[in-house]
Structure 1
């Protein structure tokens, strides 16, 4: 043992210690927070924790090889890859027509889904049809039914896609993804028009709920089309493309209920639904454009074209 080492001296310098204490009924004590505040804190912290864990593992398989090839430290490698991963979704949003189309449809449809949560209470609640909380909840069964039918029709959509893939020599056929979406793009504005004309207390609520079922089917079919088409088009880069779409979707999901509530209150159910129908009509050509021009759009994209070249080299 080294005699110069004094075992009685602390190895680390002493720092002042602050002990936080709370009074029994102190509102700042986390144990005294309301349940709403506690859940809000959990909802804010948990996604951050998850994103940190995913981000830490997402680049680890390639970071060491990349650092060796480029002659840089792993810290520089992870930083560069992280910056690229964070910036690429914004680049896709600003330059890729396919991502822009998907973002428009996803934003509109998800925004409508959140908007209807509040609008249905105004339409079917005490100020509309006069339903109580349970009755308002039952009015959502039309949308639930439509989405359920969408699950069933997707079986036929997938069969059609597999046939097209087989015809293409077992290569991906992204344009086959829009087969049922073309019909859904037409049904969507029609369902909103039917809802606008029937969602009034002097007409039986069954008709408005029935119209919402067609909206639910269109919602599911179009959402699924944008996601699967994007994945088939960009493959390796689809995560960045879907991240860009998800950003617009989340922003629309937050903004639509704020704007939509004022729209329904000030313009009324019929006029507000007609405005939404007009937006749906403007978006209706998207599946048809992807079917006719999707291949050329992918060839113009450096990320999608890379996979097109791989398929061609595989044939040779």
Structure 2
């Protein structure tokens, strides 16, 4: 197998313009750029304390998002009894939140490229708090569904903003390390959500599962006022140009924005960019399909996980929630070990290629993920089917979680490296199909397990993954550069 090596993928601040000293090129004096690689205003050169504060804040925001998605699972029976809904409609209360993740980033990501990461994250968080609070007051299924999808749009800022901010502030050689920290808290969400949700719904009522998260996210918004500055270098340079125009009266501009650009023109281009990228970039289409099946399988399994323990193992809502700890163990192992392997593989392949880089250097980490996902599905399915001791299906779910995170981290890092200038829009485009799959797969989960059982049902999922997932790393490694070259140039 061979991989085409490309130059540095816009990995450094001076990718915006060449240095006149090194190239002899005459630079327009009105063009505003960074003052070399060591410009202290570039986010790459901020202090470690400042960068970690931003990373940990967004990590907490991700925790809220993933807890919101899973927290209702143990409380679904209580909600169904209060709102008088059947099993299929009750399942929508859980999965409709994930559907919002498909459409929210397609709007929020381009807005973040026009107005900046900070204001979009702040306003989206406030939007989430409003509608998540309303969900707790719902007296009808319709209001609960509406408030869930609206709060999901606000919560989807995690998928629109977090990875772009990591790309803004951390150099590619540190991306794995930043992933290991930024994903640690969010990956606790699928475990903490059901545990807290089960305890809360059993003690003070399911409505408090919403209100507790609204209070927590409100505290994060207050903290963000003090620790979350703007990180997007395009916005920072545009602000520098604006200040120079006001101070001197001269038409200073940047490489991405002319002095005469209007807000309307920038919005018209940006708001369509995720859709244009998805339609015109073959590599994003391939990544989107792989992410979609990963996410769909995960949510299909999670949507029935609490039901397995309550109905088949006779556990209480609180006890059923504790089994999600197994999933988080798998997540954490993959995030911490995989992210460090990602940095080492990147450094090794970069040195081997004469200090040149390529997004394909993120692909090797997909190989263990491709093995672990079907293995975890089979172990979890058949041990649950045979009603073995709870620790065995939990081991299977941990292996599945480990594989899901390995694949997801690799594909996300690939997109970040391949679309450095428009990473927010590219990330949104790559995640569009996965969120639709995360919504759709759980809808047929109860019927599948009722008809096939946990064993044969998971066998079908595992076999389908082998057909789709095993060729994925080889396809990206061998043909990734060609597929990227086939994409149309975007503005």
Q: Same fold (TM over 0.5)?
A: yes
Counterpart for residue 150 of structure 1: 334
1:192 aligns with 2:388: no
| Deviation string, structure 1 residues 140-198 (Cα, Å, up to 9, x no partner) | 22211111111232212211112222333433322221112112112211221222221
| Deviation string, structure 1 residues 52-75 (Cα, Å, up to 9, x no partner) | xx9xx988738984899596xx5x
Q: Which of 22, 32, 35 does residue 136 from structure 2 map onto?
A: 35
1:249 aligns with 2:413: no
Q: What CA distance in whole angstroms lies between the structure 2 residues aligned with 1:286 and 1:145?
A: 25
Deviation at 1:220, TM superposition (A): 0.7
More moved, 217-226 vs 251-260? 251-260
Residue 187 to residue 132, structure 1, CA distance change in 2 (3 Å): same
Deviation at 1:46, TM superposition (A): 9.4
1:207 aligns with 2:389: no
Counterpart for residue 99 of structure 2: none
Q: Which of 137, 161, 182 does residue 321 from structure 2 map onto?
A: 137
SS at match of 2:388: coil
Residue 241 to residue 134, structure 1, CA distance change in 2 (3 Å): same
More moved, 291-300 vs 77-86? 77-86
Contact 2:345/2:361, CA 8 A, preserved across alignment: yes
Counterpart for residue 301 of structure 1: 487
Q: What CA distance in whole angstroms lies between the structure 2 residues aligned with 1:201 and 1:162?
A: 46
Q: Which of 172, 183, 186 does residue 368 from structure 2 map onto?
A: 183
Contact 1:107/1:249, CA 8 A, preserved across alignment: yes
What is the TM-score normalised by the length of structure 1?
0.72
Counterpart for residue 120 of structure 1: 305
Q: What CA distance in whole angstroms lies between the structure 1 residues aligned with 2:370 and 2:332?
A: 18
Residue 43 to residue 259, structure 1, CA distance change in 2 (3 Å): closer
Counterpart for residue 313 of structure 1: none
1:290 aligns with 2:476: yes
Q: How many residues align?
A: 264
Please show how residues 93-104 of structure 1 align to structure 2 within 5 Å. 93-104=278-289
| Deviation string, structure 1 residues 208-231 (Cα, Å, up to 9, x no partner) | 111111111111111101100011
Gaps of at least 5 residues in structure 1 are 1-32, 307-316
Gaps of at least 5 residues in structure 2 are 1-133, 162-229, 243-252
Residue 202 to residue 240, structure 1, CA distance change in 2 (3 Å): closer
Counterpart for residue 78 of structure 1: 263
- Tell me the C-alpha RMSD between the 2 structures: 3.4
| Deviation string, structure 1 residues 236-295 (Cα, Å, up to 9, x no partner) | 132222111222222222222212233223332223212221231122211111111112
More moved, 37-46 vs 250-259? 37-46
Q: What CA distance in whole angstroms lies between the structure 1 residues aligned with 2:288 and 2:257?
A: 38
What is the TM-score normalised by the length of structure 2?
0.48
Contact 2:382/2:454, CA 8 A, preserved across alignment: no
Residue 158 to residue 68, structure 1, CA distance change in 2 (3 Å): closer
Deviation at 1:49, TM superposition (A): 11
Residue 285 to residue 46, structure 1, CA distance change in 2 (3 Å): closer
1:280 aligns with 2:465: yes
Contact 2:281/2:488, CA 8 A, preserved across alignment: no
Higher Rg = 1
Counterpart for residue 150 of structure 2: 44
Counterpart for residue 25 of structure 1: none
